[in-house]
A = this chain, B = another copy of it.
Amino acid sequence: MSDNKNIRIKDIAEMAGVSVGTVDRVIHKRGKVAEEVRKKVENVLQSTGYKPNLLARTLGSKKALKIALLIPDPKQDEYWALAESGVKPSLEEWSQYGLEIAPNFFDLYESTSFATSAKEVLSSKPDGVIVAPIFHNESLNLFAELDRDQIPYVLFNTNIPEAQPLSFIGQDLYQSGKVGGELLSLDNTEKKGVAVFHIHESIDNSVHLKAKETGLRDFLGTAYDIESYDLNHVNSGELNQIVSKILHQSDLGAAFVSTSQGTNIIATLMEKHNCTHIKLVGYDLLAANLHYLEKGVINFLINQNPKRMTQVGISHLTNHLLFHKELPREELFPLEIISKQNVGSYLNSRIH
């Protein structure tokens, strides 16, 4: 079909009987080109299937991309530390293109903190933004401004249907809950009591945690006795008491925790109260979770892969800005099942 040899702008120019400057103008829709000429050039472009050489394009331009990252403070929650850890490899991957990543952290417990950080992001005039929109309303404000300034942005971890991001990166939470149910039901124990724990900080987020719960309930059906507990903003003393009571219900056979940090909190209490026989399924490869997985207190973890979410988000943004690549509106990660036996292969793998 087409020649193996790559077609250059120069070739297009010759074929269309114009200069490279005109072809350039047509390709980038800049400057003025006579309508007749434009059509001719576009025809040639079309028929030859011209693809610009990205190397040459980027080499010449020399502009440093500035991407802002807006996530909760990694010090507050290891989950976000994992997310942040994706920055470094991304910088290395894209260092050739002069990529700059400016991380902005906000307080997981303060929506005002989010708003403040969002302002800082905006005033830094980034070329693109990747954001974990934990706080709904404040996020919408940010998106409005980004839309106005024509700054592309990628959402990750939490989706916001009203937003029009370049893409969303995350998981199907409902299906995630189903996987949780599947894992809990593996052991056909007599005990049909299942406790669902939502231990989180922001009420905004609880919508998403409920999606997991719905998936879990839909999978387990009526054969199980599912009770859910919303334990946000509870101090550890209270938590201990409440959970202790729950764990000692005679019929309780399994527990599902919808958050990564919550997973090891429950695991700690299970161990403390000698309830390690209760099946436990939670989220993510936090150090404490790995510890309890190893010990057998946690039976399975579902990996959300925050590190890779960050990397993919940055990659999408960079590909868009640098190469004008078409990207999927939604990038749903696989629901990775992590057990004691396969956890090592995940931790050692560079792929993940």
A341 and B179 contacting across the interface, CB-CB below 8 Å: yes
Determine if A348 is an interface residue (Cβ-Cβ < 8 Å): yes
Q: Does A235 contact B (CB under 8 A)?
A: no
Q: A6 — which chain B residues lie within 8 A by C-beta? A: 98
Taking A6-B98, A187-B186, A351-B334 as contacts, is the C-beta distance between A179 and B339 under 8 angstroms?
Answer: yes
Chain B residue nearest in CB terms to A215 = B341
Interchain nearest-CB distance for A181 vs B (Å): 8
> Does A333 reach chain B (CB closer than 8 Å)?
yes
* A interface residues, tally (CB under 8 Å): 49
Does B351 lie within 8 Å of A312, measured CB to CB? yes
Say yes or no for A212: interface residue by CB 8 A criterion: no
Roughly how many angstroms separate A346 CA and B303 CA in the complex, as a whole number?
A: 13
Interface stretch of the complex, out of A23-31, A55-63, A103-111, A129-137: A55-63
**Does A289 interact with chain B (Cβ within 8 Å)?**
no
Within the complex, the shortest CB–CB distance from A20 to chain B, in Å, comes to: 17
| CB within 8 Å for A333 and B312 given contacts A59-B59, A95-B51, A339-B179 | no
In the complex, which residues of chain B have a beta carbon less than 8 angstroms from the beta carbon of A55? 55-56, 58-59, 96-97
Cα–Cα, bound, A59→B341 (Å): 46
Closest to A177 in B: B341
Known interface pairs A59-B53, A351-B312; A337-B332 also in contact (CB < 8 Å) = no
| A345 near B175: Cβ-Cβ < 8 Å | yes
Q: Residue A349 at the B interface, CB < 8 A?
A: yes
- Which residues of A are at the interface with B, using a C-beta cutoff of 8 A? 4, 6, 51, 53-56, 58-59, 64, 95-98, 171-172, 175, 178-179, 181-183, 186-188, 219, 308, 312, 328, 331-342, 344-346, 348-352
Can you name 14 extra interface pairs (CB under 8 A) apart from A53-B96, A333-B349, A334-B352?
Answer: A51-B95, A53-B59, A55-B59, A175-B341, A181-B341, A182-B340, A182-B341, A183-B339, A333-B345, A333-B351, A335-B346, A336-B336, A337-B338, A337-B339
